[in-house]
Amino acid sequence: MNFGDIFLSELMGTGMLLLLGCGVVANAVLAKAKGFNGGFLMINFGWGIAVFAGVYVAYKSGAHINPAVTFGLLASGIDQYAGGVDVNAANTLAYLLGQFSGAFLGGVLAWAAYKDHFDDVESEQPNKLAVFSTGPAIRNTVSNLTTEIIGTFVLVFVILAFGATPSGLGPLAVGLLVVGIGASLGGPTGYAINPARDLGPRVAHAVLPIKNKGTSDWGYSWVPVVGPIIGGVLAGLVGNLVNYV
């Protein structure tokens, strides 16, 4: 695939991921939405289905839809991934641009779908940011960073294991994996496990005309970017060590 094809595929897949992912959070936390107070498991399953859909949409590019996966594959030393796309520096740039652009777009579309609920005075300010990006239950930089590293390691390492099996890497398997990570490891930080998933919509929150939105919590914003990249790279290195690539 050429640069433009990879970019478009990842933009569409990541856009779908964030539209549905931010959408399920909005449904669960914004006042007067029909899913209001649906709970964390509803959010977990919604994100799993969002990943399932995003992987299908971005299948032509191998459906990274996550910079942590892209960096993990680079660290693993693999030459080609699903879809037969070469893993190299030029393609990596196309992946990253598509992922972050798609994540921003998905956040904007989720806001458009729930605009009346964002404008409603009963929707609480912290919940508006929570629709777009993650935040810690207990703010502790070292612990929060560790949680994101561990969660993303699990994601990328198991994805590499899927790829090493005869059945290959399937959208349903990845979606269920995300549900499991959320249910098991999502409590401390909300499990970004994807730098684009957090940063793209956080930028959308910052620039959109949302009433009474408060800050975008830029002081925390680096944690769900750096942590997942470290976790993805570590997973790639270990995956190579145990011959998963």
Nearest by Cα to 119 from 224, 245, 213: 213
Looking at residue 1, its pLDDT comes to 83
The token pair at 102 is 């798609």
Can you list the domains of the chain with their CATH numbers? Answer: 3-240 (1.20.1080.10)
Task: Output the pLDDT for position 170.
Answer: 79
Q: What is the pTM of this model?
A: 0.94
Residue closest to 47 by CA, chosen among 179, 233, 215: 179
Report the half-sphere exposure of 40 (CA within 13 A, side-chain side): 14
**Which DSSP category does 187 fall into?**
T
**How many H helices and E strands in the chain?**
10, 0
Tens digits of pLDDT across the chain (245 residues): 889 999 999 999 999 999 999 999 999 999 999 999 999 999 999 999 999 999 999 999 989 999 999 999 889 887 655 556 777 778 899 999 999 999 999 999 999 999 999 999 899 999 999 999 999 999 999 999 999 999 999 999 999 888 755 455 578 999 999 999 999 999 999 999 999 999 999 999 999 999 999 999 999 999 999 999 999 999 999 999 987 76
Q: Which string of b and e fits 209-222 if b means at least 16 CB within 10 Å?
A: ebeebeebbeebbe
Asked if residues 158 and 245 have their Cβ atoms less than 8 Å apart, the reply is no
